[in-house]
Amino acid sequence: MDSPQTASNKLWFLKHIRLFEGISSSEMQEMEKITRMEEVKKRQPLYLSGDPSSNVYLLKKGRVKISNTAANGKEVTFDILEPGEVFGELETLEDVPRSTSAETLDDTLICVIPRKDFDQYLAMHPNVTVKLTKLIGLRLRKIQSRVEDLVFRDVPARLAHLLLELRKTDGVTDKQGIRLRAKLTHQEMANLIGCSRETVSTIIGQFRDQELIQMDGRTITILDEQKLSNLLS
Amino acid sequence: MDSPQTASNKLWFLKHIRLFEGISSSEMQEMEKITRMEEVKKRQPLYLSGDPSSNVYLLKKGRVKISNTAANGKEVTFDILEPGEVFGELETLEDVPRSTSAETLDDTLICVIPRKDFDQYLAMHPNVTVKLTKLIGLRLRKIQSRVEDLVFRDVPARLAHLLLELRKTDGVTDKQGIRLRAKLTHQEMANLIGCSRETVSTIIGQFRDQELIQMDGRTITILDEQKLSNLLS
DNA sequence: ACCGATTTGTAAGGCAGCTTACGGTACGGA
DNA sequence: TCCGTACCGTAAGCTGCCTTACAAATCGGT
């Protein structure tokens, strides 16, 4: 087994971070110098809304949930990040408190970069800054489409949309259909599409009855992608 | 009256663009060279969703609405831009089709920058790139809070929130309270908070009855900011 | 100052999805 | 393999908002 604590391994991991796609390896080496690698167990908070924005993170292994919780306990999930993503950089750019919380969903491996070092690094590596701008731009477009979903679509359509999105990042084709590795709870799906847990249960049940999906324990398999797409209308 | 077509005036305007806050005037001069100034009458589309992303825009005078329309004709408004904003740069960064539409609300003055020139300019002016990243970051946080609004709050709270936000960019204090220069129709407010026009009419009526706001024609004056804030809870 | 076009006010009826409630099921740690 | 805890399924009742409908008011261009 590789030991992820070694510097050589850190470099190997950096290659798989989207921020460094198309970036020279000497520039990655410089980034390597300012990062600290950490293993974080599942279900651990990395930061909470309101915290000072002292670090930027690179996700190596496992998934991280970016969310926010209202006073009454209700939660929205903005994104579930897969390995390769940068996160936590938004607020550090302006040095304002965290506007979201981040929590690991699995046992993860993350790189931690102190805010100041990240700022300095960006100032010295303009092409990485351009890449970062593009990544933030992609995220903006993604969340714009979340707003459209909430305004234009009802819950069945939003849920179908979620499943079809998960298929892209998380789907594995097998004999019956496309299996989603995600294993989200109904509550987590509800937080992603903005509805109650009970409604997700009901609609998932309808999808199962209509043989659009199949459930094996907590694993979802998409059986009929076409009919699911039709629900988006 | 100043003639906005002259180069000297273009430069004067650039100083008032947020993207160039803290940027040297020699760098602004270079930007000046690649821009084309245009006057656009009110209610004109600048681009539509699906169009090729050929230009970036700087808004000098008047307001521009960034929105999207569903197949059934329903519309979401993502933002109403005030003078000083950059827009249309998101999709040009990646050279993908427009994901939103842009339309003037007033008679406007805009600067048009061809995509390639903007790209080149960014490559040569890293500090402007950093500034752009920060601006896009701010927009991302703004739209995240729109998602929170849609999920956490009911229509009265969302409308109160909208009015309080408009007060920041658009509010003028006068003897009765804070007058909003915006003059939005109920339909436009509905598109901003994700509800029907009729519901806005009803809730605005209730706010008036409770003397939280006052209406003079299409002008809204906030009478009791405190009580309006309480509605956000 | 006029007139067509746009916007506003209001109200009844319907329904999607929330809330409340509770029993059953699966999971994961000891 | 047991047991506590978390998650799931389902259903009845409620409600906030949408839809439909139409009349009144206001706007803006000539």
Domain ranges of chain A: 4-150, 153-230
pLDDT computed for residue B160 by the predictor: 98
Residue B215: which nucleotide is closest by CA–C1'? C8
Contact between A49 and A70 (Cβ < 8 Å):
no
A107 touches strand C (CB under 7 A): no
pLDDT computed for residue B115 by the predictor: 96
Protein-proximal nucleotides of chain D (any atom < 7 Å from a CB): 6-12, 16-21, 26-27
For B85: left if phi > 0, alpha if psi spans -120 to 50, otherwise beta; the answer is: beta
pLDDT computed for residue B16 by the predictor: 87
Nearest to B152 among A74, A139, A233 (CB): A74
pLDDT 10s digit of each residue in chain A, 233 long?
Answer: 344 455 557 677 788 889 999 899 889 889 989 999 999 999 999 999 999 999 999 999 999 999 999 999 999 999 999 999 999 999 999 999 999 999 999 999 999 999 999 999 999 999 999 999 999 999 999 999 999 999 999 999 999 999 999 999 888 998 889 999 888 999 999 999 999 999 999 999 999 999 999 998 889 999 999 999 999 98
pLDDT computed for residue B121 by the predictor: 95
Strand D interface, B 193-232, C-beta < 7 A: 194-196, 198-199, 217-218
pLDDT computed for residue A1 by the predictor: 39
User: Which residues in chain B have their CB less than 8 angstroms from residue A145's CB?
Assistant: 99
Domains B4-150 and B153-230 share a fold: no
pLDDT computed for residue A68 by the predictor: 97
Note the pLDDT tens digit of each residue in B33-67.
999 999 999 999 999 999 999 999 999 999 999 99
CATH number assigned to the domain covering B153-230 = 1.10.10.10
pLDDT computed for residue A8 by the predictor: 55
DSSP string, A173-218: E-SSSEEES----HHHHHHHHTS-HHHHHHHHHHHHHTTSEEEETT
* pLDDT < 70 positions in chain B: 1-8, 10
Contact B140 A136 (CB under 8 A): yes
Compute the nearest-CA separation of B97 from chain A (Å).
12
Query: Among candidates A102, A107, A89, A109, which has minimal Cα distance to A38?
Result: A109
Per-residue H/E/C for B160-213: HHHHHHHHHHHEEECCCCEEECCCCCHHHHHHHHCCCHHHHHHHHHHHHHCCCE
User: At CB < 8 Å, which residues of chain A contact B?
Assistant: 68, 70-72, 74, 76, 78, 90-91, 93-94, 99-100, 122-123, 126-127, 129-130, 132-134, 136-141, 143-148, 150-152, 194, 233
Query: Among candidates B85, B84, B93, which has minimal Cα distance to B121?
Result: B93
pTM of the predicted protein model: 0.93
- Protein-to-nucleotide distance from the CA of A49 to the C1' of D13, whole angstroms: 36
* Single-letter amino acid, residue A143: I
pLDDT computed for residue A47 by the predictor: 96
B69 touches strand C (CB under 7 A): no
Residue B198: other Cβ atoms inside 10 A: 10
H/E segment holding residue A227: helix A225-230
CA–CA dist B222, B108 (Å, integer): 27
Per-residue H/E/C for A54-100: CEEEEEEECCEEEEEECCCCCEEEEEEECCCCEECHHHHHHCCCCCC
* Single-letter amino acid, residue B107: D
CA–CA dist B30, B32 (Å, integer): 5
User: Which residues in chain A have their CB less than 8 angstroms from residue B68's CB?
Assistant: 144, 148
For C9, nearest residue by CA–C1' is: B201
pLDDT computed for residue B6 by the predictor: 54
Contact between A148 and B69 (Cβ < 8 Å):
no
Angle at B34 (CA atoms; ends B33, B38), nearest 5 degrees: 100
CATH class of B4-150: mainly beta
A214 touches strand D (CB under 7 A): no
Contact A134 B94 (CB under 8 A): yes
pLDDT computed for residue A6 by the predictor: 54
Q: Residue A49 gets which letter from DSSP?
A: T
H/E segment holding residue B79: strand B75-81
